[in-house]
Copies of this chain bind each other. A is one copy, B any other.
Amino acid sequence: MCELLGMSANVPTDICFSFSGLMQRGGETGPHKDGWGIAFYEGKGLQVFHDPAPSCQSEIAQLIKQHPIKSKTVISHIRQANVGSICLENTHPFTRELWGFSWTFAHNGQLDQRLFDLPLTSYQPVGTTDSEYAFCWLLGQVRERFPERPSDFSQVIEFIHCCADQLRELGVFNMLLTESEYLLAYCTTKLSWITRRAPFGRARLTDEELTVDFGRETTPHDIVTVITTEPLTDNEHWRKLQTGEMIVFREGVQQPLSRCFGHA
């Protein structure tokens, strides 16, 4: 199993605070020692750092911790290998281009062998994980259904929800997915989220004894949503997603979905 972290914000925001908590779990306070990765968007542009080394030892992770990159959309993943060996090509998040957008995907959980019977169309996995296979299948489905990006993105969201439900029948499928603007989160077993709006209160990390006062670092209009496998702070109220639930954020704000979760 692996740890996921996603962020959606209405202003370019340092992920530093939340990532700092997740880093500690990468081999220090958690078992996720088999690599980590983080994807930052700057507009449509994408920067991805991958490292098969444990995040708590990683020089790249230290760089990001010390010199955080400001971004409105972030997906990060810390891995404990179950399917696929520990190597760069098996390190999340995975990316593919569709409609001239760089899509990024990270998965927590494990899917059974029936996954590999699902037909791949436009995208082929580079590595050997169930996660990358699932991503290639999912994005191929989206591409077949929508050869061009529809003006109403909610159609895409609804379709992805259906595909995610199919994957959930094959095992545990907790997912973060984005094309830069919309951050989609799908839950089978565990995902929690919180939206922080200015004025921010003081928040304390669960993993490190560190308190950050968000009020000092942001403006009065800021909205920042963070989604993680487990809550990162212990003095705030995190909302837990239910099985089969998908939520979508844009500019930090939860988007209305045309379909209720659980409605197959």
Contact residues of A with B, CB < 8 Å?
42-52, 59-60, 63, 67, 87-91, 96-102, 122-127
Contact = CB atoms under 8 A, between A and B. Distances in A.
A160 B124 CA distance: 21
Do most interface residues of chain A lie in helix, strand or loop, or is the interface mixed? mixed
Contacts of A96: 97
A48 B45 CA distance: 13
A59 B91 CA distance: 23
A1 to B, nearest CB: 22
Contacts of A52: 42, 45
Contacts of A122: 122
Given A124-B100, A126-B100, A50 B47 contact: yes
Contacts of A100: 124-126
A134 to B, nearest CB: 15
Contacts of A50: 45, 47
A170 to B, nearest CB: 21
10 contacts: A44-B126, A45-B90, A46-B126, A47-B49, A47-B50, A47-B88, A48-B48, A49-B49, A98-B124, A99-B124
Contacts of A60: 63
Contact of A63 (B46, B59, B97, B125): B59
B87 A45 contact: yes
A44 B101 contact: no
Nearest to A66: B59
B125 A45 contact: no
A43 B86 CA distance: 12
Contact of A101 (B43, B51, B99, B126): B126
Contacts of A63: 59-60, 63
Nearest to A50: B47
Contacts of A90: 45
